[in-house]
């Protein structure tokens, strides 16, 4: 059989590494990664969960320096709160004793060339583990009070912003919170503080490792988060959530989890009018990490392939637990 007529040969562009580099479409850079960081009080333990650990404020300074040196542009803080400080109404979040707020303030003073973001939600502070206020209805069942929760999220955002944070990231999925947070920040003349909202957050099994890292309590009253986080059987609803958050004033959006939800990243990136980030959550990080530890995957290759997938789908950037390593690997 003669192949003389075979004039179209895509393999021609794959012959050498330099030719492949020349025609490659997607690039990864350190600036594409946001590093999540867990801040603990001195009395709590550091825990090391597959390479994710909790830092005291003193321990986190060198990490922030390293991040900036590697070319990372943003970090996102989460509080680790001891059980003794948790209650039904998350009151420690609003206490003048809150070590987390104090730490944010110290970190701001250091003037790192980094955008300081903070996750805004009640679940690290509540004894029932929910992201909202849990109330008992007259029939004895429990529900999450959307509007009362918003009041607390607004206050929390304000306190974090006052401590010097550059952007607040509400991860609770209450209706309308972005609008009220924006309004409060503006009233307080904190016009410069960004809102990066978790616009699409699905009720996923992939958050489990995170919950032990932040010491979130086992859920009580309602046994899952399905009355506020999204149903993973839904697609169109994602557009609705995106448009709502943008119209309420969100400056940037997050889709979460990442790999199982690439269809939504791809879809939203077609119509988005604001930067769109994807969160490679603890469970998907752990899947790669654990498989690599068992010799089933090459860790570096797997993480890089996933990162290219996020960018190919159209993400502006990736929230990744191993952002420092990713930045190093990219530079190699």
Q: Whose structure tokens read 């978790």?
A: 198
Q: Which residue is nearest to ligand PBG (CB)?
A: 210
Three-class SS state of 62: helix
Q: CA-to-CA distance for 109 and 119, rounded, in angstroms?
A: 20
Nearer to ligand PBG, 30 or 129 (CB): 129
Q: Shortest approach of ligand PBG to residue 211 CB, angstroms?
A: 6
- Among 32, 41, 131, 241, which residue interacts with ligand PBG (rule: CB under 6 A)? 131
Tokens standing for 169? 């990231």
Per the listing, tokens 């899947």 go with 287
Q: How far apart are CA 300 and CA 289, in angstroms?
A: 10
Chain centroid offset of residue 324 CA: 15
Question: Tokens for 110?
Answer: 């250091």
Distance CA(163)–CA(104), nearest Å, equals 6
Q: Which is nearer to ligand PBG, 54 or 225 (CB)?
A: 225
Window contacting ligand PBG (CB under 6 A); options: 7-15, 88-96, 188-196, 204-212: 204-212
Contact between 277 and ligand PBG per CB under 6 A? no
211 vs 243, which CB is nearer to ligand PBG?
211
Among 126, 197, 272, 282, which residue interacts with ligand PBG (rule: CB under 6 A)?
282
> Binding residue for ligand PBG (CB under 6 A) from 121, 153, 179, 222?
121
Give the torsion sign (CA, 282, 288, 291, 292).
Answer: negative
For ligand PBG, which residue of 41, 123, 241, 245 counts as binding (CB under 6 A)?
A: 123
Whichever of 23 and 317 has its CB closer to ligand PBG, that residue is 317
Helix or strand run (H / E) with residue 76:
strand 74-79
Region of 20-28, 85-93, 118-126, 265-273 interacting with ligand PBG (CB under 6 A): 118-126
Please tell me what DSSP assigns to residue 3. -
CB 196 within 8 A of CB 254: yes
Say how far apart CA 249 and CA 167 lie, in whole Å. 13
* Minimum distance of ligand PBG from residue 196's CB (angstroms): 12
The verdict on 171 binding ligand PBG (CB under 6 A) reads yes
Count other C-beta atoms under 10 Å from residue 97's C-beta: 8
| Cβ 183 to ligand PBG shortest distance, Å | 22
Structure tokens given for 68:
């900036």
Interacting residue with ligand PBG among 281, 306, 315, 327 (CB under 6 A) = 281
**241 contacts ligand PBG (rule: CB under 6 A):** no
Q: Which residues are part of the catalytic machinery?
A: 201, 256
Q: Is the peptide bond before 257 cis (omega within 30 degrees of 0)?
A: yes
Q: Alpha carbon 209 to chain centroid distance?
A: 14
Least distance in angstroms from the C-beta of 139 to ligand PBG: 26
**Contact between 314 and 276 (Cβ < 8 Å):** yes
Q: How far is the CB of 307 from ligand PBG (least distance, A)?
A: 16
How much is the CA Rg of the chain, to the nearest whole Å? Answer: 21
Among 33, 38, 210, 261, binds ligand PBG (CB under 6 A): 210
Stretch that binds ligand PBG, among 19-27, 117-125, 159-167, 260-268 (CB under 6 A): 117-125
Residue 207 in contact with ligand PBG, rule: CB under 6 A: yes
- Asked if 259 interacts with ligand PBG (CB under 6 A), we say no
Q: How far apart are CB 125 and ligand PBG at their closest, in Å? A: 11
Contact of 201 with 229, CB cutoff 8 Å: yes
Longest dimension (CA), the chain: 82
Per CB under 6 A, residues contacting ligand PBG are: 119, 121, 123, 131, 171-172, 207, 210-211, 225, 281-282
């Amino acid at each position: 059989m003669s192949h003389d007529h075979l004039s179209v040969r895509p393999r021609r562009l794959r012959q050498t590494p330099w030719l492949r580099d020349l025609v490659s479409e997607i690039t990864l850079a350190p600036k594409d990664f946001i590093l999540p960081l867990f801040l603990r009080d001195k009395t709590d333990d550091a825990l090391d969960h597959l390479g994710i650990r909790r830092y005291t404020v003193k321990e986190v300074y060198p990490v922030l320096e390293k991040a900036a040196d590697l070319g990372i542009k943003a970090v996102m803080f989460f509080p680790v709160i001891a059980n003794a400080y948790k209650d039904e109404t998350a009151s420690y979040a609003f206490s003048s004793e809150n070590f987390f707020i104090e730490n944010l303030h110290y970190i701001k003073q250091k003037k790192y060339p980094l955008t300081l973001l903070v996750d805004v939600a009640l679940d690290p502070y509540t004894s029932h583990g929910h992201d909202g206020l849990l109330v008992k209805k007259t029939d004895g069942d429990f529900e999450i009070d959307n509007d009362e929760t918003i009041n607390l999220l607004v206050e929390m955002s304000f306190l974090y912003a006052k401590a010097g944070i550059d952007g607040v990231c509400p991860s609770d999925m209450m209706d309308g919170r972005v609008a009220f947070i924006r309004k409060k920040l503006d009233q307080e003349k904190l016009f410069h503080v960004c809102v990066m909202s978790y616009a699409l957050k699905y009720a996923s099994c992939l958050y489990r490792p995170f919950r032990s890292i932040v010491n979130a309590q086992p859920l009580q009253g309602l046994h899952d988060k399905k009355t506020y986080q999204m149903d993973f059987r839904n697609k169109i609803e994602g557009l609705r959530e995106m448009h709502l958050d943008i119209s309420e004033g969100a400056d940037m959006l997050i889709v979460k989890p990442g790999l199982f939800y690439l269809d939504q990243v791809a879809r939203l990136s077609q119509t988005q009018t604001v930067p769109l980030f994807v969160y490679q959550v603890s469970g998907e990080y752990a899947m790669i990490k654990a498989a690599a530890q068992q010799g089933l995957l090459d860790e570096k290759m797997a993480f890089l392939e996933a990162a290219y997938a996020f960018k190919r789908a159209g993400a502006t950037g990736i929230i990744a637990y191993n952002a420092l390593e990713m930045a190093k690997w990219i530079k190699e």
